[in-house]
Structures are given as structure tokens and as C-alpha cells.
Structure 1
Amino acid sequence: MATPLSASAFRAALRAEGVRAAEHGPWATHNRNAIGAWGPMAGVMLHHTVGAGSVDICRTGRPDLPGPLCIAVIAKDGTAHLVGYGRTNHAGRGSQAVYDAVRTGTALPARPGPDAVDGNAHFYGFEIENWGNGRDPYPEAQLTAVEKIAAAICRAHGWGAGRVIGHKEWTTRKIDPSFSMPSMRARIAARLGTGTGTDPYEPFPGPAFFVAGRHSPVITAMGRRLVAEGCGRYDRGPGPDWTEADRRSYAAWQRKLGYAGADADGIPGSTSWAKLRVPRVHENGAG
């Protein structure tokens, strides 16, 4: 289970994935956290809006449901309109079996079970502008934005595409979004360079890997995970070169895990590395 990304880490993840975003008011602090916990996080949930021009409604809510109703509204042109961040009224209660499958990276049940889990507490929620009637198309720019946003969150957490579900897969009460979720997960998996099932992590390369002069995409992936866990100590980056900032950031991660003294020296060990869950990269770049 994962600690929610900070608003700044979330925004940085979108930027790194190439998402075009528009910020609406104090979106980073607009949430429903006061009425219940947000986190630990299980995954990403997708919805459609059942209408157009939904940004204001999703930000302020309806008479029967206070806003925000999601983190962002994804418009037809692919713009992500950021309207809130934190606990939002998007998911409601849903299936324990689905929740368990998402967390463990196993196959979703053929049909959701009884509504038992508060999805608002455990999922990042996104509304996709569409009437949902089968006659309103999803432009490619919009689908690409959905893919990028979901991938950005998965990449930051070290998750696979199986962490992304539709509202219709969460509860029998809903039919959204009105596109194929297996197809969308396949797109997300392709962007992540992974399969759609269990979460693939980078194996521990050994403590001798982390020395001055090392240049590798593994170090970039590690740094992104440290930032996502609130342990980034970077003035710039992270990047592929092992630096003192990487060592300080990893030491912060070790202290977060409860290590102290020589055990929190900033040089990765196998146990702390496994808990960081660095996403697998294509090449170790060990030169």
C-alpha cells in the first residue's frame, strides 16, 4: 500500500509524462480530506462525465454531492483540468474482491462483489469528458491524455497497469467509462514498458553499483520513487548520474523506514531497495 503522492510530486509526474494541464483555483488543497482519510493508495479509477462543460461541476460539486468530484477532468482536446487533489467524491463504495485484486496485481473478478470498500479513500479519480451514450467519440488526443495521466501515477508509485480500473469494474451500480478498460490498460502498459499484470520492479543491483561516475536510467527511476515517497533532496533532477543528492535522498528513505546511524548512510541495501519498488527499466546502463 502506498502513501499518496504530494500535489507537487503529482504535478511533476504529469509534466514528466508530457501531460498538458490547466490549474483551477487552489486545486492542490481543494479536497474532502476533512471528512475522512485519503490513503493508503491502491490505484487509479477512471470515469466519464455524462456531459460536456463539466469542469466547474467537478470542482464545486452538485447539490447532492459536494466537490471536488475528481482530481482532474480530461477534456476532448487532451487537457487535464486540475480541480482538486486528495480525497474526492468520485468512487463511492465498491467491491472488496476488486480492491484486493488491484492491490495484489491479480486478475479482476468477472463481476464486482458487494459494495464494501470506500473507494474515495484509496483511488486517484479522473473524469473523462463524454456523454457515455455510445454516440459520443473519444478523440485520440483525449485517450492519449488518459493513458499518460494513468501512466504518470503508476510510474511514480512503481505500479503496473493493472492498478488502473474503471468505475464499472468497481461496482455494479456504474457503467463508466464507456470504453474498453482492457484496451486502455494495454495502452498504459505499453507506455510503461510492462505487462498488464503483476508489478515489475528493478532488481537490486548491489551496493557497489552506487558509486561516483555511475550513469544509469536505474538511478533516475530510483530518484523519481524517492521524490514520490517524500524523500527527494534534489535541487535539480533526479537524473541518471549517481550524485550526493541521490545519497542524501536515499538516506532520507532509509530513515523513513526506521534505519539510523550507519544503516542510514544513503547507500541502498537489498531490503530498503525492495521496499522502494523501483520500476524496471529497459537497460541498466552500467557503464
Structure 2
Amino acid sequence: MAQPLSPDRLVEALRAEGVRVVEYGSWRTHNRNHRGSFGPINGIMVHHTVSSGTDASVRLCYDGYAELPGPLCHGVIAKDGTVYLISSGRANHAGGGDSRVLDAVIAEGDLPATNQHEGSAGAVDGNSRFYGFECVNLGDGRDPWPAEQLDAIERTAAALCRVYGWSAASVIGHKEWSDWKSDPRGWSMDDMRERIDRRLGRTPEQPKPTEPPAAQYAPFPGASWFKQNPRSPLITAMGRRLVAVGCSRYSQGPGPQWTESDRQSYAAWQRHLGYSGDDADGWPGASSWAALKVPKV
């Protein structure tokens, strides 16, 4: 059975998904665990605060009020996308709800229409089974939901789903749990679940393959080319490399015209590589040419 995350693991999971996290007050020990269990965890529930302003909303969710003591959620998602962590234990956010909905969440199946609420005969305790996130919004259908806030809802839910190996079917709205509730209002939970599943389906971006660097060395022009007494900048480039590796037999130069000095210098290079006899006759071959690393011209 899925157990609650430790405070450190919760923060780590959210930040790994790109969530901007603020650890508020003594959230790590601020809970309602003395009133009942927290766990096994089966899903994530999304709410709206019916309030405005980040500071006031976070304080409300942290403290609660006379009829409903805080914490009222595990995190508050502000309009700018910041998530303020309020609790890592049991919180007063879900209340009673439909056992058939809980069964569907556990099975990650289709949600039935709820017909239960806090205090009804068949209601089950959602505070022990769900993480709850309150989103700052008046809930009147007119208060806007900025893109940053919706993105944070998506990322927050995906972070927990990723840790537990859940799909987005484990993410529900409060209104899908209790027939007394209307939150979240202003967007579709089905659309949000599609967003979450798309995110969960993503793999970390891989570096784009880079084009191999252009060859920086001149390709071997062929053994017969040298025996045609060539005149080319390539001969100069070859000669300079022979000088650089200590195999010069030049009295002057090197220059663009193939000469006996080039052949003797190249023979010295071949002997340097360990060739002997006919293999060190001074006429370039493919292997010794590659080893010489003559630059392109």
C-alpha cells in the first residue's frame, strides 16, 4: 500500500517536476494526525480556496478557522504558480465522499457520479486517502486561472503520480468526491487529466545529436597521385607535417612541387612508424598518410 512521502521526498519530487516550492511555517510537523490516519495514499485531490490574495489564502489554509482547524491542504497553489507547502500529514481538505469514487481511483477506472458527502450514511474519509492542493481562486467562475497556475497544478499532480506510478486517473476534483462541492470551478478536470497524462508520457529530453565535425585532415589522394610528380598545396601541407614530426630531409622548403626531398622525408616518417624495406620507400600509403594527419587545404 502507498505510504505518505516524507517531507524531504515530497519537496524533492515537486522540484524534480519543475515546481517552484515554498516551505511555509512548520509545515513538516503541522498536521491533523492526532485525529486519524494519513494513509494508505490513493490519489490527489484539487480544490479552490474561495479566497483571493496569496498571503491571506496561504494563512487561511495553514490555520483554518473555528469550524475547520488547519491545515486545510498539503499545498496552496498560487496564481503565479508557486506552491506553498502547508502540511506533510493528515489535513482537513477532502472530508467525506463516495466509496465508489475511491474504488475507481484505486483501480484507475472511470469515475462514477458521486452521491455522498461529509456526514452522509455511506461516506468514507478522504482526508486519510488523498493529498489535497488548494488553488487560489474565488471559485465564482469569473476569477481567472492564469496559465502559470494551471501549469503548476499539472506539474504538482504529475510529480506525485510519477513517484507512486499512478496515471492521471488518480487525480480528482473535490466536486468529483463530494456532491456538496463545486471545486475546482473554471476549467475541466478531464482536460487537466489529459495534460497530466501527456506530461507523464514524456521522457526527459535527450540532447539533440550534433553533426559530426567536418573532416579536418586531408583524405589520402591515392598512391598513384604522388608518382605523377604533382604540384599542389597539399604537398606543402604534407611537407610541413613531416617537418613538424621530425622527419625532414629538406634542404629548403617544403614547397608545392613533389620532389625527391619529399620522398626521402616521407620515407623517414614510414621508418618512424616502424615500416621497413619496400614499405618504407617514401611513397605515401593510406595508413601512414592517416597517421601523419595532413590538414585540409
Gapped runs of 5+ residues in structure 2?
Answer: 205-297
- The structure with the largest alpha-carbon Rg is 2
TM-score where L is the length of structure 2: 0.64
- Spell out the pairing of 1:73-84 with structure 2 (5 A cutoff): 73-84=76-87
Of 77, 85, 110, the match for 1:107: 110
Residue 86 of structure 1, CA deviation? 0.9
Q: Distance in 2 between matches of 1:157 and 1:24?
A: 24
Matching residue within 158, 163, 169 for 1:162: 169
Give the CA deviation at 1:111: 3.7
TM-score normalised by length of structure 1: 0.66
Q: In the alignment, does 2:133 pair up with 1:130?
A: no
Shift in Å at residue 112 of structure 1? 3.9
Q: Residues 97 and 114 of structure 2 are in contact (CA less than 8 Å); yes or no, is this contact kept in structure 1?
A: no
Q: Which residue of 2 aligns with 1:28?
A: 28
d(CA) in 1 for partners of 2:81, 2:2: 28
Q: Cα deviation per residue 1:49-87 (whole Å; 9 max; x = unaligned)?
A: 001131001001111111000011100000001111110
Give the structure 2 partner of residue 180 of structure 1: 188
Kept in 1, the 8 Å contact 2:98–2:114? The answer is: no
> CA–CA distance in 1 between the matches of 2:67 and 2:87?
18
Q: Which residue of 2 aligns with 1:150?
A: 157
Aligned-partner Cα distance in 1 for 2:142–2:3 = 39
| Counterpart contact for 1:97–1:112, Cα < 8 Å | no
Distance (Å, rounded) in 1 between the aligned partners of 2:62 and 2:113: 33
Separation of aligned partners in 2, 1:140 and 1:112:
32
Contact 1:98 1:112 in 2 (8 A): no
Q: Contact 2:2 / 2:164 at 8 angstroms: preserved in 1?
A: yes
Describe how 1:1-40 pairs up with structure 2 within 5 A.
1-40=1-40
Instruction: Tell me if the contact between 1:47 and 1:177 (Cα under 8 Å) persists in the aligned partners.
Output: yes
Q: RMSD over aligned Cα, in angstroms?
A: 1.5
Identity value in percent? 57
Deviation for aligned residue 1:181: 0.4
> Letter of the aligned partner of 2:60 in structure 1?
I
Number of corresponding residues:
196
3-state SS of the aligned residue for 2:127? helix
CA drift at 1:3: 1.0
Is the aligned partner of 1:48 residue 2:52?
Answer: no
SS at match of 1:54: helix
**Deviations, residues 74-132 of structure 1 (Å, cap 9, x unaligned):** 00000001111110000000000000000011100134446521000000000000001
Equivalents in 2 of 1:168, 1:35: separation in Å?
24
Give the corresponding residue for 1:87: 90
CA distance in 2, matches of 1:166, 1:156: 20
Q: Partner of 2:291 in structure 1?
A: none
Contact 1:112/1:169 (8 A) holds in 2 = no
Q: Residues 149-205 of structure 1, C-alpha deviation per residue, up to 9 Å, x if partnerless?
A: 0000000011110000000000101000012100010010000018xxxxxxxxxxx
Residue 142 of structure 1: SS of its match in structure 2? helix
Distance 2:27 2:58 in 1: 12
